[in-house]
Amino acid sequence: MITVTIHQPNYLPWLGYFHKMADADIFVILDDAEYTKNDFFNRNKIKTSQGWQWLTVPVTFSKGDLINQVRIDNLQFWAKKHWKSIELNYSRAEHFEEYKDNYIKIYGKTWTKLVDLNMEIIRQLMKDLNINTRLVFSSELNIEGKSTLRLVNICKKLKADKYIAGQGGKNYVDEALFRKENIDLQYQEFSCSKYNQQFHGFMPFMSAIDALFNLGKDASKLVKSD
């Protein structure tokens, strides 16, 4: 039984991203999908004393560009600002000192393409969350088709028996195409359990670094299915 799931390479992804990844044998990085503004490709949230805050990587792109073609605008000195915000809001978290060095290295590098930055962070979070799922880039599979057909063709290429769609997949997935190919279609079920965060109260949907810095290795329990 081979289980596949597919998602774009997001920036500082939230815990649900890694929950879906941990449930699969193969996680396909959809890097050749069209880039869209105001999505999670170049931004995500961290918790602050004032609530949540966006961390947004400035990018340059043209209409129709694919995600793996988008370049970072390094004239805006965004990396130092992002790390300052992370350090300011998590330096007192219980496990910040334990994990910070690898992230300091990431933000200390100069990145040209957004996908390369995102993948470096994703791989580091996989390591820290103890996830060993195989990663495959859609751009390396030479898949034809659009929408659900493309998802099905990716599954067929990888000889998948089961496909895990996102929680919102019921709104756009053509289930009949999966049935036709005898691929078991399932929808992700994930609700972030409350955990101790910095500052008052609990805020879900933060970047996974929030759980990592607050919980340490126990953060992995939040993304593993029972």
For tokens 């931004």, what's the residue? 43
Q: In which residue ranges of the chain is pLDDT below 50?
A: none
Question: Is residue 38 helix, strand or coil?
Answer: coil
- DSSP alpha helices (H): ranges in the chain? 15-22, 78-90, 96-108, 114-128, 147-157, 175-180, 208-215
pLDDT digits (tens, 9 = 90+) for 7-36: 999 999 999 999 999 999 999 999 999 999
223 part of a folded domain: no
pTM, 2 dp: 0.96
pLDDT at res. 167 = 82
Domain enclosing residue 77, as ranges: 3-218
Cβ–Cβ contacts within 10 Å for residue 37, how many?
A: 9
44 part of a folded domain: yes
pLDDT at res. 74 = 95
pLDDT at res. 226 = 59
80 part of a folded domain: yes
pLDDT at res. 168 = 80
**Short-list 24, 28, 34, CA closest to 3:** 24
224 part of a folded domain: no
What token pair was written down for 151? Answer: 């998802």
225 part of a folded domain: no
What token pair was written down for 202? Answer: 């609990």
pLDDT at res. 57 = 98
pLDDT digits (tens, 9 = 90+) for 63-77: 999 999 999 999 999
What's the structural domain count of the chain?
A: 1
pLDDT at res. 146 = 87
